[in-house]
Amino acid sequence: MGRAMVTKTDEGKRLAVLAKLVPVMREEWEKLGAMIEEFDALTGGKATIAEKIKECETHWSELWQTAHGEPWVFTDYAKSRGNLKTLFRKGLSVAQFKSRVSIYITGDNKYYRDRKHPWGLFIQTINEHVREGGDSDLAEVPTGCKHDPPCRDQFEHTKKRQKDLTT
């Protein structure tokens, strides 16, 4: 037997069909919004999604390597980049991402450190890695920085410390 036809007089069935379509429409709307943002970035000289993703991946990889002494290898780009796209779509900026990654990887949480700071755990706990008072724009001088001029953020400070240790 086929599906029953929805008629104008069958309000319950009409509403049920519409209720199923709302999430589909919302997803399509989000995709169109992302495309508009990408077009705007390309025409307006702003960072594209691909550039934002690359910046976040580089930041993650460099901090992870500093903490664990070996390079981070992304093994599931579809998943990790999908995570980043979702975070951007939900309004997280690259600066906020970098701030939270810095807290996650360079923080003193033994649980995260013992597990070698896995990507999935970071994504699951991303809202736990916010600086007191909110995400910074990474404009504050990192604690303990004695470089001249002072480092702009934890990322720059980590890179300089790593360079100082190898030279």
Dihedral angle computed from the Cα positions of residues 37, 38, 39 and 40, in that order, rounded to the nearest 10 degrees: 50
Whether the model pTM is above 0.85: no
Which burial class, exposed, middle or buried, applies to 76 when counting CB atoms under 10 A from its CB (0-12, 13-18, 19+)?
exposed
pLDDT tens by residue, 101-153: 999 999 989 999 999 999 999 999 999 999 876 664 444 555 566 777 767 66
DSSP codes, 45-95: TPPPHHHHHHHHHHHHHHHHHHHHSS------HHHHHHHHHHHHHTT--HH
Per the CB < 8 A criterion, the answer to whether 151 and 141 are in contact is yes
- For 2-11, 26-35, 157-166, which range has the lowest pLDDT when averaged over its residues? 2-11
